[in-house]
A = this chain, B = another copy of it.
Amino acid sequence: MGGGGMDSETHNADNGGDERFKSKNLEAERRRRKKLGDRQLELRALVPNITNMTKSTIITDAITYIEELKLTVEELGNQLLQMEATSVDEEKIKLKEIDDEKEMKKHGIKVEVEAEVNHICGTKLWIRVVFQKKRGALTKLMEAISLLGIDLIDTTITTSRGAVLFTSFGQGIRAGLPEADQMRKYLLEIIRD
């Protein structure tokens, strides 16, 4: 930590222990340097990727760090935008489902799920299911019916005011078809989820 450029040759032998000249801004300049040094230290502490301790490199590292952060922000923003764009449809669907639910309630359809299974003759049967419209519900219902071993001969599906009416005439393909009431309860469970 060397002394400054203050002229060291003009040593004052005549002035004794007194100070030589003392610029007015000497102390102020010291404060300024101190402050600046502190700032640089703070900046250095904030930047993670430090290549060197020198003053120039601190600033350089800070620059590269800022650029990295900017890039990261941009990338994240893009990803988020893309995500939002793709999930807009999902949101719409959900909103539509809510609308369906509200509409259904508005029209006083209180019965959430209703199922009826009737044997007709032999393995022939008749199914009627009423439920609130919901994504995947119909597919699950048909899958369940298929798993019960029922072949759908003639089916009508009608959607109205957020409700779905499923009516079908079918036939069991296996010998041991379950009881009607059992099937009904099973289908109810499926639809109720």
Contact = CB atoms under 8 A, between A and B. Distances in A.
Interface of A: 4-10, 32, 35-36, 39-40, 42-43, 46-47, 55-56, 59-60, 62-63, 65-67, 69-70, 72-73, 76-77, 79-80, 83-84, 86-87, 89-90, 92-93, 96, 133, 135-136, 138-139, 142-143, 146, 149, 151-159, 168, 173-176
Contact of A55 (B36, B96, B135): B36
Contacts of A176: 89
A159 B152 contact: yes
Given A139-B146, A154-B157, 10 more contacts: A7-B10, A36-B56, A43-B66, A46-B66, A47-B66, A80-B83, A93-B149, A93-B173, A139-B142, A157-B157
A152 to B, nearest CB: 6
Contacts of A72: 73
How many subunits of this chain does the assembly comprise? 2
Contacts of A92: 173-175
A156 B159 contact: no
| Interface secondary structure of A, over-half rule | helix
Contacts of A63: 39, 42-43, 46
Contact of A96 (B66, B89, B173): B173
Contacts of A36: 55-56, 59
Nearest to A58: B39
B156 A155 contact: yes
Contacts of A83: 80, 83-84, 87
A99 to B, nearest CB: 11
Point out which of A47, A59, A63, A90 has the most chain B C-beta atoms below 10 A from its C-beta: A59
Contacts of A70: 69
A9 B139 CA distance: 99
A60 B39 contact: yes
Contact of A156 (B90, B146, B156): B156
